[in-house]
Structure 1
Amino acid sequence: MKIPKPTDAELEILQVLWEHGPNTVRFVNEQLNEKKETGYTTTLKLMQIMHGKEMLDRDDSSRTHIYGAAIDEKATQQQLLDKFLDNAFRGSASKLVMQALGNSQTSKEELNQIRELLDQLEGGK
């Protein structure tokens, strides 16, 4: 199954549902409003569109509809990263990593996690 590419606004909704699990439009809207003002009807319409695109499941067995993410978080992240990597770094993961590490304050803990990942990728050397 091909994973639909979410817009930025759709991705924000998916992130709420991935983090908190299936929920109401009101809950999702409240979470979105913590970052920026978003109208309830805007959130409702977006979630209805996302349901039509098969990005969200909807349980309408009760008066209050419950929406859940119908697409996998990791698969969606991988697809978006692959596209970004191809478009911005001509497919070079090393260029992406060098840019990311060079432009931010990477903590000692994050560097250790990166070292562990590199060791795993190299076969545990």
Structure 2
Amino acid sequence: MEKNNIKPTEGEMEILQVLWAKGRCTVREVHEALDKKDAGYTTTLKLMQIMHDKGMVERDTSSKTHIYNALISEETTQQQLVNKMIDNVFNGSAARLVMQALGNQKTSHEEIELIKDYLSKLENK
């Protein structure tokens, strides 16, 4: 599977978010960061092994404790998932996605200003 076609599951996304935030981690570090009461360490280990097999993460086995690192970028993964959501859920309309997202969440003044700046830059392209 090509890295640019990988579509992480919800559980895989949670692990990737830990690796993106912290960088290289052991399974124990990822498991503790997830802080899931309902999932055991072995569940996290198995999921990370599957992610390694899929090419989402690399594993350094040079020491007794294996260290994992994300192989797929946060930005590319987010872009792929948003594009899929726009196509599948919002019938190809990015505007509908944005309106739904802004209508369902409490958007801060700072976030609104960032959005305005981004829209302004898009208009000036």
TM superposition shift of 1:36: 4.4
Alignment-derived partner of residue 11 in structure 1: 13
Alignment-derived partner of residue 29 in structure 1: 31
Which moved further from structure 2: 8-17 or 95-104?
95-104
Alignment-derived partner of residue 96 in structure 1: 97
Deviations 1:81-114 (A, max 9, x none): 0001111111101111111122222111111111
TM superposition shift of 1:38: 2.0
TM superposition shift of 1:78: 0.4
Higher relative contact order (CA 8 A, sep 6+): 2
Which moved further from structure 2: 95-104 or 109-118?
95-104
Structure 2 runs not aligned, ≥5 long: none
Deviations 1:14-61 (A, max 9, x none): 00000000110000000111x543200000011011101110100000
Counterpart-to-counterpart distance in 1, 2:20 and 2:51: 14
| Identity across matched positions, percent | 60
4+ runs of 1 displaced by more than 6 Å?
none
Scaled by the length of structure 1, what TM-score is found? 0.93
Contact 1:3 1:76 in 2 (8 A): no
User: Within 5 Å, which residues of 2 pair with 1:46-57?
Assistant: 46-57=47-58
Write the letter of the residue equivalent to 1:20. Answer: K
Would you say how many aligned residue pairs link Structure 1 and Structure 2? 123
Scaled by the length of structure 2, what TM-score is found? 0.93
- RMSD value over aligned CA atoms? 1.3
Alignment-derived partner of residue 76 in structure 2: 75
Structure 1 runs not aligned, ≥5 long: none
